[in-house]
Structure 1
Amino acid sequence: MWNKGDRVSVLDEAINGQVIAVNGTDVTIETEDGFMMKFGSHELVKLHNDSNLMDTIRRINVEEIIKEKTIPAPRSFVKERKEKKEVGVPEFDLHIEKLVPNKRGMSNYDILTLQADTAKRHIEFAIRNRIPKIVFIHGVGEGVLKAELDFLLGRYDNVVFQDANYQKYGLGATEVYFKQNTK
């Protein structure tokens, strides 16, 4: 267990030294002050070369630890193909939390009316500014907002709508395409 030359520390005493001789369970050490002392092997603890705290701290590679701790981004196996000329599509979140700072005191009717009016404003803005495509994020829920949005979109000519990309939005979004007249 103990070899000649091992660095050791004595338990319950502030004595460090180097093993000089081993005789059964008796270990003779030379202390850092140059004294020869005998101890039982159960009274000693082996010191490693990294006993100096500052040396240990200097050897720690912080960048490697940060790299280990960062959670890798989930990989998507199917990439959404974009055309070179395609610009980002405007997305409008119709969740009530995104529209008002506090919905306290609003009835379900008030909430649905506000969401429908917001969607109508965005549709008319897109038509006026000749925006070819927008996406409404309505969430899944019970489907009341989606049904209201479908009814609203059905009242416009030259508007085509469908469920948005499932991989990107799940079931809670609708893509709206505006057919532009080229007069």
Structure 2
Amino acid sequence: MKLKIGDKVDVLDDALSGIIQSIKGEIITIETEDGFDLEFKPSELVKTKSATLRNNVFDSASIRQVLSEKTEKKRHSTTKIKAKERYEPMMEVDLHLHKLVDHERGMTNYDKLSIQLDTARHKLEFAIKKRIQKIVFIHGVGEGVLKMELETLFSRYDNVKYYEADYKKYGLGATEVYIMQNPNTNN
């Protein structure tokens, strides 16, 4: 069935009907009986005769009931977190230099490495203070200098364990840090 301008249509999943005002590609604009212009896809509309589909199928009392059910506030269901997602890192820190500075022109390798390590130290301290248990530091593969320096940094902390991050998600260029929380410490 081909829809055209001037056709009377009903909206399939809503208690609306109207007359087609314009058709632009896959967007059909209808003017509702209340005078509003609304856009729909052709699959959301059905052509009707002179009497609306609602008048043929429902009486006015059942229309009111359907409308009240549709406008009634629904209870929000709580989103269940899968067991696997519970153990995913809470925080990601991308240490790629282009994410940390606007331009790296004129910087020495020492300057670049210092910025990356200072950022890692700052984020790790923040996570410890805010009691965030897991962080992933994305350092990239490269020559492995940053990775070795990060391992040196992490080994200075008694309450930190570190290991390769999830290979499927990060490849070889990331280290996951687990911060053991001391329940006696109130930060």
TM-score by length of 2: 0.53
Query: C-alpha distance in 1, partners of 2:176/2:119?
Result: 16
Matches within 5 A, 1:66-77: none
Tell me the residue number matched to 1:144.
145
Aligned residue type for 2:140: G
| Alignment partners' CA distance in 2, 1:177 and 1:145 | 19
Answer whether contact 2:89 2:135 (CA < 8 A) is retained.
Answer: no
Q: Work out the percentage of aligned pairs sharing the same amino acid.
A: 57
Deviations 1:73-120 (A, max 9, x none): xxxxxxxx6446557621100010000010001000000001000000
Give, in whole Å, the separation in 1 of the partners of 2:98 and 2:88.
27
Mapped to 2, the partners of 1:87 and 1:143 lie a distance apart of 24
> Which residue does 1:32 correspond to in 2?
none
- Tell me the CA shift for residue 182 of structure 1: 1.1
Q: CA deviation at 1:129?
A: 0.6
Find out whether 1:133 has 2:134 as its counterpart: yes
1:28-54 C-alpha deviation (Å, 9 max, x unpaired):
xxxxxxxxxxxxxxxxxxxxxxxxxxx
What 5-or-longer segments of structure 2 have no aligned partner? Answer: 1-24, 28-81
Q: Unpaired segments of 5 or more residues in structure 1?
A: 1-60, 64-80
What root-mean-square deviation, in Å, do the aligned CA atoms of Structure 1 and Structure 2 show?
2.4
| 2:118 counterpart of 1:117 | yes
Cα distance change of structure 1 residues 127 and 171 upon mapping to structure 2, 3 Å threshold: same
Tell me the amino acid that sits aligned with residue 146 of structure 1: K
Q: Which 4+ stretches in 1 moved above 3 angstroms?
A: 81-88
Report the Cα distance in structure 2 between the residues aligned to 1:84 and 1:135, rounded to whole angstroms: 14
- Structure 2 SS opposite 1:136: strand
Match of 1:180 in 2: 181
Q: How many residues align?
A: 109
Aligned position for 1:46:
none
When normalised by structure 1's length, the TM-score is 0.54
Alignment of 1:1-183 (within 5 A): 82-83=83-84, 85=86, 89-183=90-184
